[in-house]
Structure 1
Amino acid sequence: MARFPVRCFTIAFAGWLALSGLAACGSINRNSAIAQPPPATPSPTMSPTPAVNPQLIAADNQFGFKLFSQLIQQDSEQNLMMSPTSVAIALSMLYNGASGETQQQIATTLELHGMSLEDLNQANADLKNLLENADPQVKLAIANSLWGNQEVAFKPDFIQRIQTFYDAEVETLDFTNPSVVNRINDWVDRNTEGKIPTILDEVRPDDILFLINAVYFKGEWQQAFDQANTSDRPFTLPDGSTKNHPLMSQSGNYLYQETDEFQAVSLPYGEGRLSMYVFLPQADVPLTQFSQELLSADNWDTAMTRFTRRDGTVELPRFKYEYATRLNDALKALGMPMAFDPDVADLTGLTDQDSFVNEVRHKTFIEVNEEGTEAAAVTSIGIRATSVQIPTEPFVMTVDRPFFYAIRDNESGAILFMGSVVNPE
């Protein structure tokens, strides 16, 4: 096969759940190299409350725990946060443009286990619709966009699928213009309500594509914490030292469980469809050990069946932090190294231009306080040419040492965000 000139293909993905809804940032330049796709791809079938293929939920959650495990191995000394939904949607869009063994490796990494491309795309369309309509009291939205280099011709059927199933805004730009990076970052900033202002540091003339997904979430607790009950308390850091930090406190009736390894509680938002699950390892179980041994998809599913109603008191630290990481090594370790190799990557499903994934970035933000939670995530994929028996007495759960949390849709089981806090800020 003849080799084309070496160019750079970057896919940027921003995972976010939006407070104010989606803002359009552009349309196709009809004189650009992205051809208008034919109306051949069927429209996704969606209802106001779509039933999401449970195979996708299981795959996304399993992929999420594997990726989180990789991240905590790389750096267990800082607060971590990622959005499995965000990264999985980004890689699903990339999957649409991959072919051959490269595509197979992405499928293995995403735990798709025989799902067809059509099934995957329809399930992602259903998931977006379901999550955005999950709870009228929770502000949640998902946005996708595609930014192409006007000098590169992309496959019309790839563009069609990304528009149809991922509701992506599509625009082509002159990548030699220095203002392009600001244009894309402005889209990310708007679609994360200003919580993640940038995803790209630069756009190079040899970049050929950015795929952006944004997820933004804002929910108020079903039972708010009374600020009068918040007080500075010692929080134990991983090295055994302590720092004083505000711990919020409330009492009530919760979904709760306790084992020899951890305490866990579900704190619902709004009407209760979405919840934050807080897992506190027992004092003699390090967070890294807890994450590696207990936080797998199978163990998570088992834990979700063992919550029971119980009166108790929850003491939870306020926290607010940002997290940014490069996912290249983690994704290679999870089974998709070919996509990053300029000599073997096969992305011919999106363009005849020889290309490879150059970089995958992920940025997240979260703030938890007495009123509720605000969170956002951004993932950027860059492609460069050649992504027990329960006691009845009230419990006390004092989260005063490193812990794990996840924000989950209780109907579908989808995990929107997961993270660990070793040092609340």
Structure 2
Amino acid sequence: MAAVLRLLLPCLLARVWLVPGTAQARPQTPAVQNETSQEVQAPEEEEEEPWLMASGHQLSEQTSNLGFSLLRKISMRHEGNVVFSPLGLSLAMAALMLGATGQTRAQLEGVLSQTGPGDLPALFRRLRQHLSRNQELGLTQGSLAFVQEDFDVKGPFLNLSKRYFDTECVTVNFHNASQARKLMNHYMNRETQGRIPTLFDEVNPDTKVILVDYVLLKGKWLTPFDPVFTKADTFHLNKYKTVKVPMMYSAGNFASTFDERLRCHVLQLPYRGNASMLVVLMEKMSDHLALEDYLSTDLVDTWLRNMRTRHMEVFFPKFKLDQKYEMHELLKQMRVTRIFSPWANLGELSAMARNLKVSQVLQRAVIEVDEKGTEAVAGTLSEIVAYSMPPIIKVNRPSLEEFWAIFERKKVKSDRADGSQEARKGRHRGR
């Protein structure tokens, strides 16, 4: 089963292989399918704001396609279940932009959007405000900044972080690793309502700032599955292996379509709050690998336009996934490299920018689907560390190697001179 969740911007992206089982959609006669893809559609409003219709729409598409690109890269590196949040990663990169300048900032902007310098933080701010108004959907986003107690962060950076991302600043002592880890995990556990109790496993004592962005989704089905009908059923892992999983059941009117080119059924499961999950069922086992190569916002929009409503029986598995990824390695593959190098320019973050770089970007994502709906949360941390430049050595006088070179040159000349003397003596004896 493969899954893709999107809400205005991609909230969560998941490819599910082993645990949950499969979804089945039956118009009248049974038709067992084995691979699934899901997508949360953007809420449809009667009146869309101008920013959403223009650069906001472009930002949404860019972040969606970023998610699809990351899914392909993660799938190549990891077998089995995949779940992560493109929105969470985009928010983390936008937060880093506030402290970056020059090429460091330009690389971040290039991956996120082409709307132009200075637009992204404002767009994310409006996005957060827009999402918070959808009370039925239950989507929240927040930001934390853990700052070393004796580290000087520029006031404008903190003010902009508060303005655009409502960032809460917390002072910690990273030199006391155990205490710092406990404090940060306490905040994450609180903000994610217990879904991510331990985002931090280790603490680098050279850390100066850790920025954390989190996204929490609580989507309730428009028509919940009845737990009475949830039964253990067979899930096909591949052609040769099956497992038993809890399978939910519902019958009613559902929107769906069939993609002739990719040979897949697409089913829409609605949430409250004008959002929905798209479930993509491949006709043949393992064809999900080909589907991942074609996933894009244009493909999803085509599916949505072709939806038709009809009466169906739907079987869908209960499942839970919990994954963690090193996003900095994936970003480097997408040419975001400068911020992780000694050439990083974080001059808007602190006056000591020459000695700062991002050491890692980690994300943990959790998704759980049951009869009531979908709960998903993702936390993305960006660790900013101070590093020491190597001592400066200026060779402006003879070094040991130069002494050895001089010695060797003198030795060679001496050997040549000795050889010449022996040759002359030989010639003299020959006479």
Which segment drifts farther, 308-317 or 89-98?
Answer: 308-317
Name the amino acid aligned to 1:101: Q
The Cα shift of 1:304 comes to 2.9
- Which residue does 2:374 correspond to in 1? 373
Unaligned residue ranges in structure 1 (runs of 5+): 1-14, 18-47, 387-425
1:231-310 to structure 2, matched below 5 A, reads: 231-238=231-238, 240-260=240-260, 261-271=263-273, 273-292=274-293, 294-310=294-310
Q: Which residue is equivalent to 1:42?
A: none
> What is the match of residue 174 of structure 2?
175
Q: How does 1:63-82 map to 2 (within 5 A)?
A: 63-75=66-78, 77-82=79-84
**2:411 aligns to what?**
none
Gaps of 5+ in 2: 1-9, 13-46, 388-431
Which AA in structure 2 matches 1:98? Answer: A
Q: Normalising by structure 1, report the TM-score.
A: 0.74
Aligned to 1:357: 358
Deviation at 1:70, TM superposition (A): 1.2
Range that drifts further, 147-156 or 163-172: 147-156
Provide, for residues 366-385 of structure 1, a one-character-per-residue CA deviation record: whole Å limited to 9, x for no partner: 11111111111111222333
- How far has the Cα of 1:336 moved from its partner? 0.2
Please give the residue correspondences for 1:66-145 in structure 2 after superposition, counting only pairs within 5 Å. Answer: 66-75=69-78, 77-110=79-112, 112-117=113-118, 119-134=119-134, 136-145=135-144
* SS of the residue 1:138 aligns to: coil
Higher helix share: 2
The DSSP-based 3-state class of the residue aligned with 2:291 is helix
- The count of aligned residue pairs is 335
> What letter matches 2:205 in structure 1?
P
Offset of 1:49 from its aligned partner?
8.6
Matched with 1:403 is: none
1:214 aligned residue: 214
What is the CA-CA distance between 1:357 and the residue it aligns to? 1.5
Deviations 1:11-36 (A, max 9, x none): xxxx999xxxxxxxxxxxxxxxxxxx
Aligned twin of 1:223: 223
Partner of residue 414, structure 1:
none
Do 1:16 and 1:191's aligned partners in 2 also have CA atoms closer than 8 Å? no
Counterpart contact for 1:225–1:250, Cα < 8 Å: yes
Partner of 1:159: 158
State the AA in 1 paired with 2:224.
Answer: A
Distance 2:240 2:344 in 1: 46
CA deviation after TM superposition for structure 1 residue 241, in Å: 0.7
Could you tell me which amino acid in structure 2 is paired with residue 236 of structure 1?
A: H
Spell out, residue by residue over 1:336-372, the C-alpha distance to the aligned partner (whole angstroms, 9 max, x if none).
022222x222222212322111111111111111111
The 4+ residue runs of structure 1 with deviation greater than 3 A are: 48-52
Residue 105 of structure 2: SS of its match in structure 1? Answer: helix
Report the equivalent of 1:41.
Answer: none
SS at match of 1:94: helix
Q: Is the 8 A contact 1:16 1:143 kept in 2?
A: no
- Deviations along 1:149-198, one digit per CA (max 9) or x if unpaired, are 12222222221110111111112222223312211111111111111111
| Cα distance in 1, alignment partners of residues 234 and 109 from structure 2 | 45
Other-structure match for 1:325: 325
Instruction: Tell which has more relative contact order, 1 or 2 (C-alpha 8 A, sep 6+).
Output: 1
Deviation per CA, 1:299-318: give whole Å up to 9, x if none: 23333322222222221111
* Contact 1:233–1:245 (8 Å) recurs in 2: yes
Superposed CA RMSD in Å reads: 2.2
| Paired amino acid for 1:274 | A
In 1, are the aligned partners of 2:214 and 2:379 still within 8 Å (CA)? yes
Q: Does the CA contact (< 8 Å) of 1:67 and 1:334 recur in 2?
A: no
CA distance in 1 between partners of 2:80 and 2:75 (Å): 9
List aligned pairs for 1:26-41, cutoff 5 A.
none
C-alpha separation between the residues in 2 aligned to 1:66 and 1:336? 14
Tell me the amino acid that sits aligned with residue 78 of structure 1: G
- Residues 30-57 of structure 1: CA deviation (Å, up to 9, x unaligned): xxxxxxxxxxxxxxxxxx9965421221
Per the alignment, do residues 200 and 284 of structure 1 end up closer, same or farther by CA in structure 2, a change over 3 Å counting?
closer
Measured in 2, the distance between the counterparts of 1:205 and 1:239 equals 49
- Normalising by structure 2, we get a TM-score of 0.73
- Between 1:321-330 and 1:279-288, the stretch displaced more is 279-288
Following superposition, the deviation at residue 284 of structure 1 comes to 4.3
| Residue number in structure 1 paired with 2:203 | 203
Partners of 1:152 and 1:180 lie apart in 2 by: 15
Task: State the Cα deviation string for residues 212-240 of structure 1 (Å, max 9, x = none).
Answer: 11211212211111223222221111463
| Secondary structure at the counterpart of residue 194 of structure 1 | coil
Given that 2:189 and 2:195 are in contact with CA atoms closer than 8 Å, whether structure 1 keeps it comes out as yes
CA drift at 1:319 = 0.6
Match of 1:185 in 2: 185
Between stretches 247-256 and 236-245, larger displacement belongs to 236-245
Change (3 A) 1:16 1:183: farther
Contact conserved, 2:340 with 2:358, CA < 8 A, in 1?
yes
Between the aligned partners of 2:107 and 2:254, the Cα distance in structure 1 is 41
Cα contact 2:239–2:285 (8 A) shared by 1:
no
Structure 1 counterpart SS, 2:98: helix
Output the amino acid matched with 2:232: D
Mapped partners of 2:314, 2:69: distance in 1: 29
Change (3 A) 1:266 1:74: same
